[in-house]
Amino acid sequence: MSIGPRGPMFHGRRPGPRGFVGGPPMVRPAEKPKDLKGTLKRLLKYLRPYFFQIAIVFVLVVLANVFNVFGPRIMGDITTELFKGVVAKRTGLGSKIDFGYILQKLTLLAALYISAAFFTYIQHYLMAVVSQRMVFSLRNEVMGKLTKLPLKFFDSRTYGDVLSRITNDIDNISTTLQQSILQLLSAVVTLLGIVAMMLAISPVLTFITLLTLPLSIAATMSIASRSQRLFSKQQAVLGNLTGHVEETYGGFNVIKAFNREGDFVRAFVEMNEKLYDASWRAQFLSGIIMPLMNFISNIGYVIVCAAGGIFVIRRVLEIGDVQAFIQYSRQFNHPITQTANITNIIQSTIASAERVFEILDEEEETPDNPKLVLKDVKGCVKFENVSFSYREDVPLIEDLNVEVKPGQKVAIVGPTGAGKTTIVNLLMRFYEIKKGRITVDGVDIRDISRENLRKIFGMVLQDTWLFSGTIRENIAYGKEGATEEEIINAAKAAHAHHFIKTLPGGYDAVLNEEASNISQGQKQLITIARAFLANPEILILDEATSNVDTVTEIYIQKALKNLMKGRTSFVIAHRLSTVKDADMILVINNGRIIEKGTHEELVKKGGFYAELYKSQFAVTS
């Protein structure tokens, strides 16, 4: 019995979000790809650069397994020789065991095993490189794709979904490439080799052994389908339970405040009981597959032992043949179950690949088509007959005309969630308008490159985005190759210099993953510093300052005022004082611009804005 390249492996699959309650892969429900052939073809294309290495690997797999398959046969010959010696001794002929012959056979065996081991090593070595390089370029390709996708893509998907495709799914592909393909190939080669050897030794015994095959297939299939059902049930119950735990812990203080702990525990116990029920059944069934397979294999073993023994007595076979045959028949079932396993794994890999390709197939932003480069912008912004909607059937902005003169301030007001960011989306060309045109200094913003446009516009949004890195790096984000002096000046202008100085490490203080080591208000100051550094001609900003302490808030106010000085600005306003100062107010509700004009005009008009204004004033006075 030799251990082929299919023994236990060290590389475990990292548990992904799908199914961390594992179980043997065979009993886990396989994900079915939508287009197996097409996706497989496409996946193979990625392997084309490694054609040469893969070809070598394939040849080596075949060689290593063929060599391994010969092992038991040679051992059988040795046994036969030993047995002959024993029989000869018993019958008194006195002929000794031919140790020269045995040594020769053992040397051959050693040579076979050494070369098989060497081939196996080279396979794994090559595949490690091939699979990692391939997923390396696949990951880069997806990332490159992300930079070309329109904002619509990001807004319509959860981060988790995109993340999981780039990490778990690609990871799945790499593991399969590295392990499963080799395993599948060697299982097939071994199976063919074993059958060939068995046939060569004794067609009759082979036939008897093959009789156990339908038995093992039937047993596997019937149990696997049952346990698959149970595992999916377990997965579903676990999903519910996890949801319940998330909800309970997420609303911990509310549940406590309302004295609801008991109800939540009762619900949990009920779900936990269901989980127990599904789980132990699933575990039980998956646990009996191995013993059953083992039993079937043992039946074959016993038959071969008994029948083989009789054959030896009848001088149809040599004792060594029987020994070799026993070893072959014991290995026989293994590749079959393994093939079944791997087909499942490969299916789920193809499904993973499909999800990755889905991203690669997303429609990209319309490419830039710059007719000119806009420099020294004065800051005149015009909306001319602009129409826009996120969804075809729900028109949002229709025929909008707005003219903003250089240096003017436009306030965008409206209830929360009314869609004030739509204007930002259009100005920055995150979304494309359907009709009409938006111009800056008379130039259609589609006639300049996006890069040019976004240099002109600066943005300070409410959801401050800082990345893990130093404060300096975060400010310097506003301008490529900014000097130390520029960074500090920007921080000073944004009233951020002072607090940065007090941080341990100053400008080199590292923000942690959630940037929770500085306060919300400080984050906003850094974002403002970033905008100062970028020095845009036109500003878009959100003045919301929730969760900010009063002192910082005053700083933010001052910093924003500084920033707006002399610049055309679009302000998502939360303060009536800002609104009253504005040269123009855009009132937005349910995503539409419903009113526009100055404060006085709108109050006089007595519409939505007037009411909004009064509701605030009614409390104030």
Partner 1 sequence: MQKLLKWLKPYKNYVIASLFLIFLQAVSELYLPNLMADIVDTGILNKDVGYILRKGIMMLLVALGGTIAAILASYLSSKAAVGFGRDLREDIFKHVGSFSLAEFDKFGTASLITRTVNDVNQIQMMTVMGLRMVARAPLMGIGSMIMAVYKDAKLSLVLLVTVPFLIGIVYFLYRRSVPLFEAIQKKIDRLNLILRENLIGIRVIRAFNRSEYEKQRFEKANLDLTETSIKVNRLMSWFMPATSLVVNFTIIAILWFGGIRIERGTLQVGDLMAFIQYVMHLMFSLMMMSMAFVMFPRAYASASRVIEVLETVPEIKEPENPLEPEEIKGTIEFKDVTFKYPGSAEPVLKEISFRAEPGSVTAIIGGTGAGKTTILNLIMRFYDVTSGSILIDGIDIRLLPLGKLRDAIGYVPQRVVLFSGTVEENIRFGKDLRREEVERAALIAQASEFISNMEGGYNSVISQGGKNLSGGQKQRLSIARAVAKKSRIYLFDDCFSALDFKTDAKVRAAIKEETKDSTVLVVAQRVATVMDADQIIVLKDGRIAGIGKHEELFKTCREYREIVLSQLSEEEFT
Assign residue 606 a region (left: φ > 0; alpha: ψ between -120 and 50; beta: otherwise).
left
Binding of partner 1 by 290 (CB under 8 A): yes
Q: How far is CA 516 from the centre of its chain?
A: 25
Please state the closest distance from residue 154 (CB atom) to partner 1, in A: 5
Site for partner 1 in 338-377 (CB under 8 A): none
Please state the closest distance from residue 192 (CB atom) to partner 1, in A: 20
Site for partner 1 in 493-532 (CB under 8 A): 513, 519-521, 530
Please state the closest distance from residue 178 (CB atom) to partner 1, in A: 7
Q: Please give, one letter per residue, the 3-state secondary structure of 98-112.
A: CHHHHHHHHHHHHHH
Please state the closest distance from residue 23 (CB atom) to partner 1, in A: 8
Binding of partner 1 by 591 (CB under 8 A): no
Site for partner 1 in 89-128 (CB under 8 A): 89-90, 96-97, 99, 102-103, 106, 109-110, 113-114, 116-118, 120-121, 123-125, 128
First to last CA, the chain: 94
> What is the SS3 assignment for 516?
coil
Given the complex with partner 1, which of 380 and 476 has the nearer CB atom?
476
Write the CA distances from 292 to 96, 224, 313, integer angstroms.
44, 12, 31
Binding of partner 1 by 44 (CB under 8 A): no
Count of positions on this chain that bind partner 1 (CB under 8 A): 167
Find out whether 135 and 169 touch, Cβ atoms under 8 Å: no
Distance CA 327, CA 345 (A): 28
Please state the closest distance from residue 457 (CB atom) to partner 1, in A: 7
DSSP state of 394: B
Site for partner 1 in 298-317 (CB under 8 A): 298-299, 301-303, 305-306, 309-310, 312-313
Given the complex with partner 1, which of 33 and 212 has the nearer CB atom?
212
Distance CA 246, CA 482 (A): 44
Binding of partner 1 by 428 (CB under 8 A): yes
Which tokens hold the place of 210?
């093959």
Site string for partner 1, 456-485 (x = CB under 8 A): -xxx-x---x-xx--------xx-x-----
- Name, in order, each residue with C-beta under 8 angstroms of 468's C-beta and a sequence gap of 6 or more: 510, 511, 512, 513, 515
Site for partner 1 in 148-167 (CB under 8 A): 151, 154, 159, 162-163, 166-167
Distance CA 14, CA 434 (A): 46
Distance CA 462, CA 278 (A): 47
- 3-state helix, strand and coil shares in percent for the chain, rounded to the nearest 5: 65, 10, 25
Residue of 160, 168, 166 whose CA lies nearest to 142: 166
Given the complex with partner 1, which of 244 and 384 has the nearer CB atom?
244
Q: Which of 38, 52, 59, 140 binds partner 1 (CB under 8 A)?
A: 140
Site string for partner 1, 47-66 (x = CB under 8 A): --------------------
If one counts every other C-beta atom within 10 angstroms of the C-beta of residue 158, the result is: 9
Binding part of the chain for partner 1, among 190-198, 224-232, 331-339, 544-552 by CB under 8 A, reads 544-552
If one counts every other C-beta atom within 10 angstroms of the C-beta of residue 236, the result is: 13
Residue of 301, 244, 296, 234 whose CA lies nearest to 269: 244
Q: Which of 403, 432, 484, 549 binds partner 1 (CB under 8 A)?
A: 549
Binding of partner 1 by 280 (CB under 8 A): yes
Please state the closest distance from residue 524 (CB atom) to partner 1, in A: 12
Q: Which of 62, 288, 316, 594 binds partner 1 (CB under 8 A)?
A: 288
Given the complex with partner 1, which of 96 and 565 has the nearer CB atom?
96
Site string for partner 1, 602-621 (x = CB under 8 A): ---------xx--xx-xxx-
Q: CA-based diameter of the chain, in Å? A: 128
Binding part of the chain for partner 1, among 136-144, 224-232, 391-399, 598-606 by CB under 8 A, reads 136-144
Given the complex with partner 1, which of 33 and 539 has the nearer CB atom?
539
Residues 299, 304, 305: CA angle, nearest 5 degrees: 100
Find out whether 198 and 209 touch, Cβ atoms under 8 Å: yes
Owner of token pair 């646990």: 287
Spell out a b/e string for 280-289, using b for 16 or more CB atoms within 10 Å of the CB, else e.
ebbbebbeeb
Given the complex with partner 1, which of 9 and 403 has the nearer CB atom?
9
Given the complex with partner 1, which of 369 and 577 has the nearer CB atom?
577
Q: Which of 100, 214, 417, 504 binds partner 1 (CB under 8 A)?
A: 417
Site for partner 1 in 167-206 (CB under 8 A): 167, 174, 178
